[in-house]
Structure 1
């Protein structure tokens, strides 16, 4: 990270998740506290360049942990939801942002998308579960592309997600990320009758 050109490079969302993984593992090993984790994660997700990662992990990881992502991985401007030793439920009613990041650490996040819509053809949700769980409930007309990594955990789609074949041109929900001693699951459920509900704000 000492090369000026590399330090000045803009980071991608996948680069932020690489650093977040280092922090989660450090917390699991007892090297940092829950408060330190939250403070450092705030810095990671606010970072614009690789130079801003250096003070966050200087006492935890070698430069190898700050590897560049592949070109095209880094769509900027995601919205977020998270749970740290707690449970969070978010219900979206209206257009989804193009990209959403959700994190669960020793807790759970449930995203209910049954009354949401994908305005621009596709939406990417990056889900990270560390000793916790993320459950994403989707409507029956979304096409799904679920690709993630389970490390001593599970990442995938639940029962019912393959029983329907959305029509060609259906909006696509892509779910990526990883689960470490936790789980990320995508399930289909019929939409409930509309009622007054909390709107998710990213």
Structure 2
């Protein structure tokens, strides 16, 4: 170990612990958000959420749209087991927190889950202890908003959030590593490889 420390010291390598995944999502969202409070404080933001629980893992997909048309999309893989309803609630809570993190207090939240939307709107009673805990957390967050509307989307209409949740779930069996997403504008056989989009993202460890 001492030998490696001496060898690597010349490169100025520094160890930094990985922040919690939810905290990092909030931080990234704040960096991406460029709309000022004055521009958006009187308008409603749209939040689309979807949770997924499969044999490969649990995940959530979140899309946040500003009144100016900016769209922020997140695919989040859970590092803990969750049922489908729990995943739906996790996505619901994260969607609200993302919008609130930039000071927005007027939201319209869309979810495919009839159970979660009905419980939040007070039409269904949350009987299981875990569901009651999630509902309590949601109600506490909603109480901090100036105005909100909770809408159930027909299954299949919440496509963006659904695809993001499935994407995050599909990464469950990939070892921890840096993953680079590439989009090519032309076929490889035409002799030119033009990358029109390249984004590095690191799977949470």
The two structures have a TM-score, normalised by structure 2, of 0.34
Structure ranking higher on relative contact order (CA contacts 8 Å, 6+ apart): 2
Higher helix proportion:
2
In our comparison, the structure showing a higher alpha carbon Rg is 2
The two structures have a TM-score, normalised by structure 1, of 0.34
Higher strand proportion:
1
